[in-house]
C-alpha cells in the first residue's frame, strides 16, 4: 500500500482528497496546511508521495520541493495546483517534482498519474503537457540558435587570418589581389555573421574556435 502525505491550505479539500485516496487503496499518513508542517511530517513518515499544493501561506510549495526530496530521498513530489502557468510548470520541473497536475483533474486520472509516478514515471495534466513541450521546443530552438557556429567562407577566413596578423586593409588587398573596398566588405560581412563590433573581437573569436592561429 503506497503512502501519501497531502499538503494543502484548504481543510475541506484535504479531507475530501484524503477520503478519496483511502477509498482508492492508498495509505494517507498525514495532512498539512503549510510548508514547515509538511517538512516535519515528511521526515517522520517518509511517504512514497507528497501531494503538494503550489500556492500556500508563507512558503510556497515550490520553495520546499528540494527540502522534501533531501529529507526523504525515496519520496516523490507531485504538485496538485490551480496554477496553469508555464513558468510555474518549468520551475517545478527544475525543482525536481515528479508530477504537475491541475486541481480539475478527475479522480481516476489522478490515481492513474500517482501510480505512474510510483512506477518511476512522471505525470503532467494534458493541458500542462502541451505547455511543457512548447516550452521545451522553444528552449531547444534557442539553444540551437545560440550554439550554432557561424560559417565563414574561405575568403573571409583568409581576410580574418591576415587581420589577425596585424595587416591593414591595404596590405590585405595587395596580398589577395583585391580592392581595399572588397576587404572592408569582407570584414563587414564577418562582423555581421558573428554579431561582433570590432576586428579584434572577430580575431579573438576565430582564435578561440581554432579557425586561425594568431602569431
Spatial strand order of the sheet with 123-124 comes to: 27-32, 3-7, 49-52, 76-81, 99-102, 123-124
| Structural domain ending residue among the three candidates 143, 169, 198 | 143
Are 118 and 67 members of one domain? yes
Largest CA distance in the chain: 87
The average confidence (pLDDT) of the chain is 87
140 vs 196, higher pLDDT: 196
Does any domain span residue 215? no
**pLDDT tens track for 14-39:** 999 999 999 999 999 999 999 999 99
Count of domains for the chain: 2
pTM here is 0.63
Does any domain span residue 213? no
* Residue showing cell 503549510: 34
Tell me the mean pLDDT in the region 188-207: 87
**pLDDT tens track for 160-185:** 999 888 888 889 999 999 998 999 99
**pLDDT tens track for 106-140:** 999 999 999 999 999 888 887 787 777 776 666 66
Are 131 and 175 members of one domain? no
Q: How far apart are CA 50 and CA 34, in angstroms?
A: 13
* Residue showing cell 578561440: 208
The separation between CA 90 and the C-alpha centre of its own chain, rounded to angstroms, equals 6
Beta strands in the chain (DSSP E): 3-7, 27-32, 49-52, 76-81, 99-102, 123-124
Domain that holds residue 7: 3-143
Give the SS3 label for residue 99: strand
| Structural domain ending residue among the three candidates 143, 178, 195 | 143
Residue 147: the pLDDT is: 46
Amino acid at each position: 500500500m503506497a503512502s501519501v502525505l497531502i499538503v494543502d491550505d484548504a481543510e475541506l479539500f484535504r479531507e475530501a482528497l484524503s477520503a478519496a485516496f483511502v477509498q482508492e487503496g492508498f495509505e494517507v499518513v498525514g495532512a498539512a496546511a503549510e510548508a514547515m508542517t509538511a517538512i516535519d511530517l515528511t521526515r517522520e513518515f517518509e511517504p512514497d508521495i507528497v501531494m503538494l499544493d503550489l500556492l500556500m501561506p508563507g512558503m510556497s510549495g515550490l520553495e520546499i520541493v528540494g527540502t522534501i526530496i533531501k529529507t526523504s530521498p525515496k519520496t516523490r513530489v507531485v504538485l496538485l495546483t490551480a496554477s496553469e502557468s508555464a513558468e510555474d510548470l518549468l520551475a517545478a520541473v527544475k525543482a525536481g517534482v515528479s508530477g504537475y497536475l491541475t486541481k480539475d483533474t478527475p479522480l481516476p486520472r489522478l490515481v492513474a498519474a500517482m501510480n505512474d509516478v510510483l512506477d518511476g514515471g512522471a505525470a503532467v495534466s494534458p493541458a500542462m503537457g502541451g505547455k511543457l513541450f512548447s516550452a521545451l521546443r522553444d528552449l531547444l530552438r534557442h539553444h540551437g540558435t545560440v550554439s550554432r557556429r557561424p560559417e565563414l567562407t574561405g575568403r573571409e577566413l583568409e581576410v580574418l587570418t591576415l587581420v589577425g596578423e596585424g595587416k591593414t586593409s591595404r596590405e590585405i588587398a595587395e596580398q589577395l589581389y583585391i580592392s581595399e573596398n572588397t576587404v572592408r566588405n569582407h570584414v563587414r560581412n564577418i562582423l555581421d555573421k558573428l554579431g561582433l563590433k570590432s576586428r579584434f573581437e572577430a580575431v579573438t573569436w576565430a582564435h578561440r574556435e581554432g579557425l586561425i592561429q594568431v602569431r
